[in-house]
Amino acid sequence: MGIVQIAVVIVLLVLLVKPLGSYIYHIFSNEPNRTDRIFGPIEKVLFAVMGVKDRSGMTWKKYALTLVLMNFVLMIFGFIILAIQNGLPFNPNGIANMEPTLIFNTIISFMTNTNLQHYSGETGLSYLSQMIVIMMMMFTSAATGLVVAIAFIRGITSKGTTLGNFFVDFVKAHTRLLIPGAIIITLVLVGLKVPQTLEPTMQVTTLQGETQQIAIGPVASLVSIKHLGTNGGGFFGANSSHPFENPSPLTNVIEILSMWCIPAALTYTFGRFAKNRKQGWMIFGAMSILFVMFLSLAYYSETAGNPVINRLGIDASQGSMEGKEVRFGIPQSTLFTTVTTSATTGSVNNMHDTLTPLGGLVPMSLMMLNVVFGGDGVGLVNMLMYAILAVFLAGLMVGRTPEFLGRKIEAAEMKLIAIAILIHPLIILAPSALAFVTELGKGAITNPGFHGVSQVIYEYTSSAANNGSGFEGLADNTPFWNITTGIVMFLGRYVSIIALLGVAGSLVRKQWVPETIGTFRTDNKLFMGILVGTVIIIGALTFLPVLALGPIAEYLTIR
């Protein structure tokens, strides 16, 4: 039955890919369509308020600069609100101002679509901060990732000379996709008993006659965009394992599909832009193969249970239920874990720190690869980056100048792709090494064995992949961890975005090369296999040594 539960959710996702992918294509294709009558007047007002008069296409440098500057302005705004939240309205519970290094970490975390939380949501933020800072950044960071993907797709598929207009794309991402989608999901969640209120913390009397405080608030609206925007930050510290955020198996499935649907559908959108839908299904197929491989490992490991507990003679027929909610069980817990780290959402419905060693290896590996669906937009871009790399390597083997979608892949593009690929392991491994050799870093480790290594590696991997989940056994709310993970999140987001927009800008200026009999096809099963192999080989060469020091060593030891 566990496998059936998982299979049903995967089938539902596949059914969503084509209609949602087509809808996203119509949003950003700039071709007239029926949605213009609904959203066009609203967008005209927004452009007028923003002072956007020139909506012509931008070069990649202007597009990237505009993106970074807008994100920077939003970061400054959010920093100020969190620094003075105690004196602002909609704070019925009297939440104090945040400590400066925690503000630094939180603002970068949410603006980079990471949502790593070194605070507990219900006690660290006022209602105003949750709505005007956290939810605002959940929308804007998701929109940022989406427009990067669309700009990149235009760069490698169109015969124009620009990547589009950032402001037009940014506004459309909100008005036509994220806001309508979030409203629908919010209403569904409210109907399924997720709270949505501005009332203060409830006081109830327990069976023992004592008074207990129960946190509530505008939960449903935050949960909807945290998943749809692949954000992941929870209203509550327990995130989606909290019964107010995720009360039932039905809401669990809705949340899984919410965070999975846009990254998956963007593959079909890519196929529409490329005028070859097989290209999109090829990318979707490669992602799906990797996803099923890792999901199978996680499910097998968790259902097999912990060997140490099994040797004690304790009934472990239900598998490893430590850290999992009974209402979800192992099937929906392992599926949620695999999806949230594939789509780099970071939301959790179980404690990743209590996963079995191989179960914990799965989310860690998915974030290290950072191409299996990925967050809104950036996951597709990362996989397309590997597709270009695979074409380049194949071209080297046959002695032919590689081509991808009618453009020659040359040294300029490969240098930028090398930067994007190498920055990811660098900002994971370098700060991890620093944490292991300093008392400031080692002091946060709660498990001195191999699991402690996993705790540190997971924290920086989650930050670099802009995921945000954690092995929560790590005591990470300290200046050292707030600052170092903040820097890693910033570099993990913007270095790769700028480098890959540079690739798109380089390719869009190149003359289109017609396909010939000697052109290496990139829309068939052969290339799908080459792409999967390229991702696995580069990932293994880069990260297998450090995985051997953490989850693999732990697995071998407890056996």
Per-residue pLDDT tens digits for 59-85: 999 999 999 999 999 999 999 999 999
Does residue 544 register a pLDDT over 80? yes
The C-alpha atoms of residue 224 and residue 183 are separated, in whole angstroms, by: 8
Does residue 399 register a pLDDT over 80? no
pLDDT band of residue 442 (cuts 50, 70, 90) is confident
Task: Check residue 135 and report its DSSP letter.
Answer: I
Q: Which of 113-122, 451-460, 465-474 has the lowest mean pLDDT?
A: 113-122
Task: Note the pLDDT tens digit of each residue in 107-158.
Answer: 999 999 998 888 876 778 888 888 899 899 999 999 999 999 999 999 999 8
- For residues 178 and 131, the model is more confident at 178
pLDDT of residue 158: 85
Helix ranges (H only) for 477-550 are 479-508, 525-549
The C-alpha atoms of residue 355 and residue 276 are separated, in whole angstroms, by: 41
The C-alpha atoms of residue 532 and residue 151 are separated, in whole angstroms, by: 24
CA dihedral 421, 427, 496, 548 (to 10 degrees): 40
Task: Note the pLDDT tens digit of each residue in 31-65.
Answer: 888 889 999 999 999 999 988 888 888 999 999 99
pLDDT of residue 532: 96
Does residue 316 register a pLDDT over 70? no
Percent of the chain with pLDDT over 90: 67
Q: Has this prediction a pTM greater than 0.85?
A: yes
Does residue 521 register a pLDDT over 90? no
Does residue 295 register a pLDDT over 90? yes
Nearest to 558 by CA among 311, 297, 298: 311
Q: Averaged over 375-380, what is the pLDDT?
A: 90
Residues in contact with 473: Cβ distance below 8 Å, sequence separation at least 6, in sequence order = 353, 446, 447, 451, 455
Does residue 376 register a pLDDT over 70? yes
Q: Averaged over 269-278, what is the pLDDT?
A: 94
pLDDT of residue 53: 84
- For residues 297 and 198, the model is more confident at 297
pLDDT of residue 496: 93
Does residue 309 register a pLDDT over 90? no
Q: Averaged over 394-419, what is the pLDDT?
A: 86
- For residues 260 and 125, the model is more confident at 260
Backbone angles phi, psi at 403, to 5 degrees: -130, 145
Angle value at C-alpha 252, between 247 and 257, nearest 5 degrees: 150
